[in-house]
């Protein structure tokens, strides 16, 4: 990114300006932007610009999810029902504390839980070893293939279906658009989704 002129132009950086460290946005997202919807609003303003330029019509949407492998490893995971192995509440990371609070409220965890990233799900790729993941779900306008909404979820098919409904509702509420057609893979072809 240090030499990418398009990136520098987008960020209004001259060739002599210092480029932010790659982890800055991630740290800000987990820190000072954590309770803010600033990044969502920025995304929606970009979509709004695409709509105003006629690039998004809203007649047909496609939906898909990408599995994002986490940095959590199985050597730092414990069995879900083994509460004695959990770090003590005072010494736990914020992620572990939030996961334990959500578990008390009925969240369905995977069989093994990472103490580094407890929100990640254990997933196995066909023919490969299991690993921890999240899903990034996309709602895409099919005319110009522009992403109109996105939502991160645990990597679980039922969550993908739920997130699709949420994204369609959010796009309808925010942009007054509801598709006539919805395309997706077989995971989305359930009777619940078609309803």
Long-range contacts for 10-19 (Cβ within 8 Å, ≥24 apart)? none
Residue 64's φ and ψ, nearest 5 degrees, are: -160, 165
- Is residue 83 pLDDT above 70, yes or no? no
Question: Which DSSP string corresponds to 126-165?
Answer: TTS-EEEEEEEEEEEETTTTEEEEEEEEES-HHHHHHHHH
- Mean pLDDT on 60-76: 81
> Average pLDDT, stretch 136-159?
88
What percent of the chain shows pLDDT beyond 90? 24
pLDDT at residue 72, rounded to an integer: 73
Q: Is 15 or 147 the better-scoring residue by pLDDT?
A: 147
Average pLDDT over residues 13-27: 79
**pLDDT of 141 above 90:** yes
Q: What is the pLDDT of residue 106?
A: 47
Closest CA to 143 of 56, 50, 54, 64: 56
Q: What is the pLDDT of residue 32?
A: 73
What tens digit of pLDDT does each residue of 85-120 get? 555 444 556 666 666 565 544 445 556 777 667 777
Helix segments in the chain, DSSP class H = 5-10, 24-30, 38-52, 94-104, 157-175, 191-194
């Amino acid at each position: 990114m240090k030499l990418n002129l398009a990136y520098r132009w987008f960020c209004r950086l001259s060739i002599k300006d210092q480029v932010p460290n790659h982890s800055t946005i991630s740290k800000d997202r987990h820190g000072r932007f954590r309770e803010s919807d600033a990044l969502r609003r920025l995304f929606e303003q970009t979509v709004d610009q695409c709509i105003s330029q006629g690039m998004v019509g809203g007649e047909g949407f496609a939906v898909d999810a990408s599995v994002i492998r986490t940095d959590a490893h199985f050597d730092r995971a414990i069995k879900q029902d083994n509460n004695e192995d959990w770090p003590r509440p005072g010494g736990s990371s914020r992620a572990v504390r939030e996961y334990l609070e959500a578990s008390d409220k009925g969240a369905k965890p995977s069989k093994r839980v990472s103490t580094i990233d407890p929100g990640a799900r254990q997933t196995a790729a066909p023919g490969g070893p299991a690993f921890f993941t999240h899903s990034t779900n996309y709602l895409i306008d099919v005319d110009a293939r522009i992403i109109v909404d996105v939502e991160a979820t645990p990597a679980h098919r039922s969550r993908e279906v739920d997130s699709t409904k949420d994204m369609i509702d959010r796009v309808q509420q925010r942009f007054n658009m509801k598709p006539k057609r919805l395309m997706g893979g077989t995971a989305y072809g359930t009777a619940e989704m078609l309803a």
